[in-house]
Chain A
Amino acid sequence: MKRPYRYRFLPEVALADVAFAAVGESPGSLFEACAVALTEVMVDRKTVRPAVVRQVRIRTNDVDGLLYDFLTQLIVLKDVDSLLFRRFEPRLSRDRRSLMCRLAGEPIDRERHRLRNDVKAVTMHMFGVRHEGALWKATVVLDI
């Protein structure tokens, strides 16, 4: 059975906005947990069906930039193509400078989706990916 996504919101960090901490056993599972947390800020993900598949590719200089650009890409897809996603399958390269991710979701449906906040941006406040022991961790603060 698939483990639950490991993230928790940090209401004490950002009064006007939303912060979360995420954990993964691999960079891929960390990125997936972050994508789920970001999506849960925008919509109750259970109400989104995995009807449309998209693929994104990102290349950057470091793993921090990769996570920043990946999450930003999900915000862009929400604004440009009105897409929200249910499933995320990120695959990172060995050097953790590039990523390919299969996304499954559907166009925003105001009747059926339980919408929440319109995320403006990923901020750099406290932002970063850390490798601690066997775990990969990240803290993300979103501007609402």
Chain B
Amino acid sequence: MPVPPQTKQVSEVVWEIPTSYKQGMNVPARIYATKKLLEGMDQGVIEQVTNVASLPGIQRYSYAMADAHWGYGFPIGGVAAFDPEEGVISPGGIGFDINCGMRLIRTNLRLKEVRPKVKELVDLLFQLVPTGVGVKGFVKVNQSSFEEVMRWGVKWCGENGYGWDEDARMVEEGGFIKGADPSKVSRQASSRGIQQMGTLGSGNHYLEIQVVDPTRFFDAKMGKNFGLVHDDQVVIMIHCGSRGFGHQIGSDYLRIFDGAMKRYGIEVRDRELACAPFSSKEGQDYYGAMACAANMAFANRQVIVHRVREAFQKVFRQDPEALDMHIVYDVCHNVAKVERHSLDGASRELVVHRKGATRSFGPGHQDIPAPYRQMGQPVIIGGSMETGSYLLLGTARAMADTFGSTAHGSGRTMSRTAARKEVNGETLQRSMEKKGIYVKAATYDGLAEEAGMAYKDISEVVETMHEAGISLKVAALRPIGNIKG
């Protein structure tokens, strides 16, 4: 991508596009990237991050993280904070898959114990966790209990036998976002969501058995604080979101906001930037509905954790408690939340949008679970199924520089069509198995589309954020088994 000539290099890995770049920009844009990553980004990132900078009430900067790529309206990897009175809320700044996120569960098992049973585990997980097009979930709820899921997220799961008492507090926001209002959710959205509790989805969603990579266990002391005590310890990572429920809420409000903007005199450069003042009826209605979807996503990941514990219990013939299968943490990477941040010397409430970006709160923040509070928040970055993922640590620098935010994954560099042309799903499955990764997918086409070569180098993304100081490396996690939608 040609970098605009006005771009100023702020540091080795931070670039700033001034407001003079485009008429109507209210704040500059900041891109976190090495020179190589910046030049490799698609043109859409520059256009979109500067379009977001033009939205009413945006504060300080419009951000693109190192994994940024073209999205709808906002880039994936975008962060923007808005004043709650003067500013807006935009479904395009959150994404259709509301509260798509990552969850990490640890075990006390080591690679040599799990390796011989990986196939059995993956095959069982593939049976227990429905994946792919149009599948129904394993949790049966009626409208009334589904509304409880919308309000209480992980708390509902705990009260209904899908988890341990401690689980909710190891999830961002304690497992539910306050302000969820089921009356703001359409009947159609409920009917899509009610049957999908306990489904993984498709696309880039996965459930993965991983091992702490002994050659890249960067901070063993911090790892120990998160319960990673061995350099070949086995963990499980879940990547999924609110399924059709969140997608429908996104679609419903995109249509509502598309019409509402005229009434509020808001003009945007892209229809996908449709937005409404946060304090308006439409803005508040969307926030109430979005929180419902976010809570359903927390619950969806939670019931999948329940199934993962059952699968390990069956295969290893031990209680999940004896296997130490505690949640390390759970992070959202598609959400807007009202958070308190320091801005121009004052503490202010802001509506922080993170779309393909992860919260990265630093030491001492009251929203971090007590066991981790003095260290900083665990940050979970999911990579492609071939290259692995990372556990990182939130920092004070992120609080100061990026409204407590960092990247979320590796980001695509190749279209799905191109990946399918380049890669044969069956061949990929065999070659991954040779590399020690047993993968089971709903379709071979879907598998081919998610090949590692279709993604950026996650290590370079993680190094960039580490260098910028907005999330610090703790451990790299290498896949050994994977189920895909």
Contacts and interface: CB of A to CB of B under 8 A. Distances in A.
Interface string B240-264: 0000100110110011001100000
Interface in B433-485: 442-443, 445-446, 449, 485
Contact of B136 (A16, A42, A61, A82): A82
A141 B449 CA distance: 17
Interface in A1-58: 9, 11-12, 14-18, 42-43
B271 A118 contact: no
A125 B270 contact: yes
Contact of A11 (B96, B274, B417): B417
A127 interface: yes
B285 to A, nearest CB: 18
B254 A120 contact: no
B106 interface: no
B195 interface: yes
Contacts of A117: 133, 202-203, 416, 445-446, 449
Nearest to B202: A118
Interface stretch (B66-74, B177-185, B226-234): B66-74
Interface string A103-114: 000001010001
A116 B447 CA distance: 10
A127 B412 contact: no
B90 to A, nearest CB: 11
Contacts, number: 121
Chain A: interface residue count, which band?
Answer: 35 or more
Interface in B180-214: 188, 191-192, 195-196, 201-204
B272 A15 contact: no
B72 A125 contact: yes
A115 B188 contact: no
A82 B199 CA distance: 14
Contacts of B97: 120, 143
A121 B250 contact: yes
A93 interface: no
Nearest to A117: B202
A59 interface: no
A80 B416 contact: no
Interface in B408-450: 412-418, 442-443, 445-446, 449
A79 B76 contact: no
A144 interface: yes
A115 to B, nearest CB: 5
Given A82-B136, A120-B97, A141 B72 contact: yes
A63 interface: no
A79 B244 contact: yes
B445 A82 contact: no
A84 interface: yes
Given A115-B443, A116-B446, A14 B192 contact: no
Contacts of A61: 259
A15 B415 contact: yes
B272 A125 contact: yes
Contact of B192 (A12, A80, A108, A116): A80
Question: Which of B42, B136, B271 counts the most A-chain CB atoms under 10 A from its CB?
Answer: B271
A68 interface: yes
B132 interface: yes
B132 A118 contact: yes
B251 A122 contact: yes
B338 to A, nearest CB: 25
B72 A124 contact: yes
B274 A124 contact: yes
Question: Which of B76, B195, B251, B258 counts the most A-chain CB atoms under 10 A from its CB?
Answer: B251
B272 A123 contact: yes
A16 B416 contact: yes
Contacts of A12: 415
Contacts of A78: 133-134
Contacts of B413: 15
Question: Which of B134, B195, B272, B412 counts the most A-chain CB atoms under 10 A from its CB?
Answer: B134
Given A11-B417, A16-B69, 12 more contacts: A14-B415, A16-B412, A76-B188, A82-B134, A116-B443, A116-B445, A117-B203, A117-B416, A118-B201, A118-B485, A123-B272, A125-B72
Interface of B: 42, 69-73, 76, 92, 95-97, 132-134, 136, 188, 191-192, 195-196, 201-204, 244, 247-248, 250-251, 254-255, 258-259, 270-272, 274, 412-418, 442-443, 445-446, 449, 485
